[in-house]
Structure 1
Amino acid sequence: MAKKKITAETTASDGIHIGISEKDRLAIAEGLSRLLADSYSLFLMTHNFHWNVTGPQFNSLHLMFETQYTELFAAVDEVAERIRSLGAFAPASFTRFSELSSFTIPDEKLAANDMIAHLVKGQEAVVRTARGVFPVAEAASDEPTLDLLTRRMELHEKNAWMLRSLLA
């Protein structure tokens, strides 16, 4: 049996040999770090709104927000673990998330409809961030990351649609 020729594409200085160059893995991990920051920021904002929503739609919004923040909590773990699988460290502080996130979390007390509007913007921001990582992962033939990104975009697009429908 002939030995496969080892090239720069199959070896990495950090000892990770998964068929993606170190440069590409780190570029993908950088994009995923932005996705993690956006996802964690959206988790935090959604959880805040779950706690603080008031008004005639309280029960339905309280439950909807709980469903969304629970899903986000699982998602941030999956994104962080993908970053680690690629050989990078996942950002894990409010400072780093604040630096990397593409949106800010409102600090003031908001009416229910304003909360919903902020959540629509947050859901859409996560989609845009995921979509921005897609070409980098696609060029590197990183199918696990592509699958993760596709699932995240699908879920956040659906959440944004459902939230927008409440504002119609």
Structure 2
Amino acid sequence: MAHSSMQTVAKEVPVETGVDRKDRRELAKMLTKIVGSSHVLYAKVRGVHWNVVGPAFYSLHNMTEEHYEDLNTAIDDMAERIRAIGFTAPTGLSEMMENSSIKDQTKLLSTEDMVKELVEDHEKMARLLRDGVAAAEDVDDVKTADMLTERIGVHEEAAWMLRATIS
């Protein structure tokens, strides 16, 4: 009997690349936190992009578009890294939010307050990514450490640019 390829479901797969399963599982959990946090931040950046007003409109509108496009690519890369190390990536908004250290935006704020919150969120992401780098380095997963290290600089620069725009 033929098995329908549409009925397959992603699951953990054995990976033999030099990092123990237990260590890869912990890294996958950390990456899931990073993906969830990045996803919530992505949504908040889009909200600022759509709702920004005032004299800094043009620069903030364009800057936030660059930021959310970058986050979109990074989320995809990090979720695919979870798959590459043998585990399933998060699915759906509720799982993203459950795993996020970034708080969802629940009401519209002034442009300045929205941007201040994004600055704090980008700094929070940099700290979370540092924890991820340390966890990856502890188990010699240099690829994950490298990927996350690169992201730290992106978030630090985003925080700086946003802060400079409203100062």
TM-score with structure 2 setting the length: 0.89
Separation (CA, whole Å) in 2 of partners of 1:15 and 1:86: 9
User: Tell me, what secondary structure is at the counterpart of 2:130?
Assistant: helix
Q: For residues 1-168 of structure 1, what are the structure 2 equivalents within 5 Å?
A: 14-168=13-167
Structure 1 CA distance, aligned partners of 2:164 and 2:55? 17
Q: Which residue of 1 aligns with 2:3?
A: none
Separation (CA, whole Å) in 1 of partners of 2:135 and 2:58: 41
Q: Is the 8 A contact 1:120 1:163 kept in 2?
A: yes
Give the letter aligned to residue 52 of structure 1.
N
Are 2:136 and 2:145, in contact at CA under 8 Å, matched by a contact in 1?
yes
Deviation at 1:50, TM superposition (A): 0.6
In the alignment of these two chains, the number of paired residues is: 156
CA distance in 2, matches of 1:42, 1:164: 16
- Letter matched to residue 162 of structure 1: M
Contact 2:129–2:152, Cα closer than 8 Å, also in 1: yes
Gaps of 5+ in 2: 1-11
What letter corresponds to residue 123 of structure 1 in structure 2? H
Stretches of structure 1 lacking an aligned partner (at least 5 in a row)? 1-12
Distance 1:64 1:25, change over 3 A: same
Matches of 1:68 and 1:128, distance apart in 2: 18
C-alpha distance in 2, partners of 1:57/1:102? 28
Aligned to 1:3: none
Give 4+ residue runs of structure 1 displaced > 2 Å after superposition: none
Letter in 1 for 2:80: E
Which entry has the higher C-alpha Rg, 1 or 2?
1
How much does 1:14 deviate?
4.4
CA distance in 2: counterparts of 1:92 and 1:148, whole angstroms: 21
Give me the TM-score of the superposition, normalised by structure 1.
0.88
Structure 1 Cα separation of the partners of residues 85 and 13 of structure 2 = 10
Residue type of the alignment partner of 2:23 = D
- CA RMSD in angstroms comes to 1.3
The Cα of 1:166 is off from its aligned counterpart by 2.2
Contact 1:38 1:125 in 2 (8 A): no
